Amino acid sequence: MVALTLCLSCQGGDRKGIGGTGDSGGTAGFDEFIAFSCDQARYCCAEGGLSTTPLDDCEAASVEQSDFAQALVRGTAILIEPEYGDCLAILRASVEANECDFGALAGTCSPFFRGTVAPGGTCEDAVECASNGAGDPVICLRAGDADDSEPGICRQPVRGRIGDACIISADERSYGTTYGTPDPEPPLVFCDVIDGLYCAFPDDVCKPLVAVGAPCAPLEECEPGLYCDTTCKPKKAEGSACTGTDECALPAFCNDGTCVRVTYADTGVCEGDLD
């Protein structure tokens, strides 16, 4: 979620005054982040040779398309300090340096928001759900016969052990997930990478992450920083040859056989897809 949010605040083309407040309605202190982000997007899309016309209404569209911004409007999520101020400063520096690396912010900023809906309360998205303060993920759950048009329920899953039935995987950057399932009583358990575990599909049980050099198979998950190619291997640096994006270390992706950094021009942002 934080990565998605970071994608929003972008501008481009002719540079606007940096640091202005966007008229995004109800997002309070987040307006400055949106204004910086839209400025960055317009500039970077223009630098990539793409039209910035789809970004004419970037500020308003950022709020409309973002579950996080909508949660701010509803008061079901709040910004937290110093995390938000720190991330805003990183974004400001990126804009001033004309930096168009799309993945840099997502890998640098810590989560800068907190949900306010207690477990058992209704939610539209996991960003609204209050965590337990221990950094464990939350779930906005639609279970059984509930469909996407109905609100979910904030639930706090518990940490799983090897072999436990599970619902999600989590790592140090996880906040939560919005999850729908036909199961009326799914296992409210997460598998944490800190414990060397992941929630394995399709068995939906906690299994050990696969270590470097160990044999692996499709749907198995290697330890962080590794990818599966018969055995788990270290992800490749920018400029390395590749056949798939899972081989490349973030923020790079595989493009025409080479690991390259993701720019705004490589994403749907320049076409107005800000979510």
Residue 47: HSE in the Cβ half-sphere, 13 Å Cα cutoff? 16
β-partners of residue 122 are: 153
- pLDDT single digits (tens) 170-210: 987 678 889 899 999 999 999 999 999 999 988 999 999 99
CB atoms within 10 A of CB 136: 17
244 alpha-carbon distance from chain centroid: 20
Burial of 18 (0-12, 13-18, 19+ CB in 10 A): middle
What is the rounded CA–CA span in Å between residue 64 and residue 275? 9
Least confident stretch, 1-15, 28-42, 211-225, 259-273:
1-15
What digits encode the pLDDT tens for the residues 103-123? 666 667 777 888 999 999 999
What the block records as the tokens of 149 is 């048009």
The answer to whether residues 140 and 179 touch, using CB atoms and an 8 Å cutoff, is yes
Residues 6+ apart with CB under 8 A from 32: 19, 20, 21, 22, 88
Q: Which residue has 């974004």 as its token pair?
A: 91
Average pLDDT over residues 143-167: 92
Report whether pLDDT(7) > 50: no
Q: What average pLDDT does the segment 237-251 reach?
A: 92
pTM score: 0.80
The tokens 């998605």 sit on which residue?
4
State the Cα–Cα distance between residues 249 and 244, nearest whole angstrom. Answer: 11
Count of CB atoms situated within 10 Å of the CB of 38: 29
How far apart CA 207 and CA 196 sit, in angstroms, is 8
Alpha-carbon span 59 to 39, nearest angstrom: 9
- φ, ψ for residue 127, nearest 5 deg: -60, -20
The amino acid at residue 169 is: S
Q: What is the pLDDT of residue 103?
A: 65
In sequence order, the 6+-apart residues with CB closer than 8 A to the CB of 182 are 143, 144, 145
Q: Where are the domains of the chain?
A: 2-112, 117-208
pLDDT per residue as tens digits for the range 21-66? 333 335 667 899 999 989 999 999 999 899 999 999 999 999 898 8
pLDDT of residue 4: 34
Rounded Cα gap, residues 59 and 46, in angstroms: 17
Strand partners, 226: 234
List, for residues 62-85, the tens digit of each pLDDT value: 989 888 888 998 899 999 999 899
